[in-house]
Amino acid sequence: MEKTARDIAQRLRAAAHIAYFAGGCVRDMVRGLAAKDFDVATDATPEVVQKIFSHTYAVGAHFGVVVVVENGFNFEVATFRSDGAYLDHRHPVDVRFSSPEEDAKRRDFTINGMFFDPEKNEVIDFVGGRADLEAKLVRAIGDPAARFAEDRLRMLRAVRFATVLDYKIDNRTWDALVANAASINEISAERIREELVRIFLSANRVRGWDLLDESGLLRTILPELRLFAAGAISSRGRCFSAHATDAGIVAGRSFGASRVRRFTSRRRETGHRDCRRNGPNPFQRARPPWRGNDGIDHGTVAIFARGDRRRGRDGATTHGF
C-alpha cells in the first residue's frame, strides 16, 4: 500500500504539484510502525486531481477531498486548506485552499498534524508533533477550546489516542476537554458510538474508562453507567451488582468486538422489568423509551453488565464486565 501511495505522490509531483503524506500514517511512520492507510495532501485542486487520476470519487470535493482508487486501495487526496467557521460542530461552512503550514494548523492534534515528503523521505512538522510523540503527549493544535468547539468529536478522539497510545493528555488540552465535556451530545450518536467502540476494544481500555469518567464525558454520554457504578441503580434478575461494571473493567476481562458494538449501538430489554430502557439515549434517540420501576434507564447498564458468557461474531469469547 505504501508503494502505491508513493506512486500517487510521484504522479502529482510530475504534474508540478506538492504531494505529502499526512495525518495518522505520518504519526505511525515516525513511531516506526507500519501505517494502516495513507492520506495524501497536495496543492492540486480536486478538479486537477480528478484529471490526473482516472478512477476517483469526489466524496468531499467541497472540502478539497477526493478519493483516488489505485491497485485496489482507496487513498484520500486532500488539497491544503484553511477552514471557515464551524456551525454544526463538525463541518466548516467554507474552506479556502492554502499552504501546507496553514493546513497543518487547522488539524486536531500535533501528533496528527505532521507531513511526510515521500520524495525526500523527511518529516515536515509545523506544529511540534515530533516533540509531542517523544514526550508521549496528546496536545491540541493552537487553542484547545477552539479545536473542540469546531468538532466536538475531538474530545473523544483525545481520549482514544491517549488510550490506544498510552499517552498523557496535555494539561491545557485536558482542561478544555473537561470544560466542554457537557457539549459532547451536540454531535451525532453514530460518531460517538464509533469512538467508544475503539476505546473499549483497546487493550488499554481501563485507562480509557478512567479518562471518560474523570473528564465528565461518561456521565454526559451514558449517565446510567455512572449511576450504576456509584450504586444508584438497583440490580435484579440479569443485572449485576453496582460494582460489576467497574470491577470487570479493572480486571481487564477479554471481550469481543461484537459485544462492545452491542453495548454501544443499542439498548434492549433484558427480559426483566427492572432492566429496561427509559428516557433519551444518544445511541437510540428515535426509539420509544422503556421505563423501569425506579424511573431510571437500565437498558445500557444491563447490556454492559450482563454476566452471561458467549462467543461473539468475531470468534472472541465475551464476558460480562
Are 164 and 208 within one domain?
Answer: yes
Are 48 and 152 within one domain?
Answer: no
Cα torsion 303, 308, 310, 314 to 10°: value is 20
Task: State the burial class of residue 47 (Cβ atoms within 10 Å of its Cβ: 0-12, 13-18, 19+).
Answer: exposed
pLDDT for 86 equals: 65
Are 89 and 7 within one domain?
Answer: yes
Does the CA dihedral 146-150-156-157 come out positive or negative? Answer: negative
Measured distance CA(156)–CA(191) in Å, rounded? 10
Measured distance CA(295)–CA(309) in Å, rounded? 29
Are 8 and 115 within one domain?
Answer: yes
pLDDT for 7 equals: 95
Residue with cell 523521505: 121
pLDDT for 9 equals: 95
Mean pLDDT by 10 residues, the chain (321 residues): 93 96 94 91 92 87 84 91 67 77 93 95 96 97 93 95 96 97 90 91 91 92 67 43 40 47 40 39 40 40 36 33 31
pLDDT for 271 equals: 34
In this structure, which amino acid lies at residue 311? R
Are 217 and 148 within one domain?
Answer: yes
Are 187 and 101 within one domain?
Answer: no
Are 85 and 169 within one domain?
Answer: no
Which of 200, 221, 242 is where one domain is finished?
221
**Helical ranges in the chain per DSSP H:** 2-14, 24-30, 46-52, 100-105, 129-135, 144-150, 153-165, 171-180, 189-201, 205-215, 217-221, 223-229, 244-251, 257-265, 299-305
Q: How many domains does the chain have?
A: 3
Which residues touch 230 (CB under 8 Å, ≥6 apart)?
Answer: 242
Assess contact for 228 and 320: CB atoms under 8 A: no
Structural domain contains residue 181: yes
CATH number at residue 201: 1.10.110.30
pTM over 0.85: no
Residue with cell 449511576: 227
Structural domain contains residue 148: yes
Are 210 and 232 within one domain?
Answer: no
pLDDT for 188 equals: 86
Which of 100, 126, 152 is where one domain is finished?
126
Its domain, for residue 274, covers: 223-318
Read off the DSSP letter of residue 117: E
pLDDT for 124 equals: 96
Are 99 and 6 within one domain?
Answer: yes
CATH number at residue 84: 3.30.460.10
Are 259 and 180 within one domain?
Answer: no
Q: Kindly calculate the radius of gyration of the chain based on its CA atoms and give it in whole angstroms.
A: 22
Which of 75, 103, 126 is where one domain is finished?
126
Q: What is the pLDDT of residues 133-186, one digit of tens each?
A: 999 999 999 999 999 999 999 999 999 999 999 999 999 999 999 999 999 988
The SS3 assignment for 185 reads: helix
pLDDT for 1 equals: 86
Measured distance CA(68)–CA(117) in Å, rounded? 19
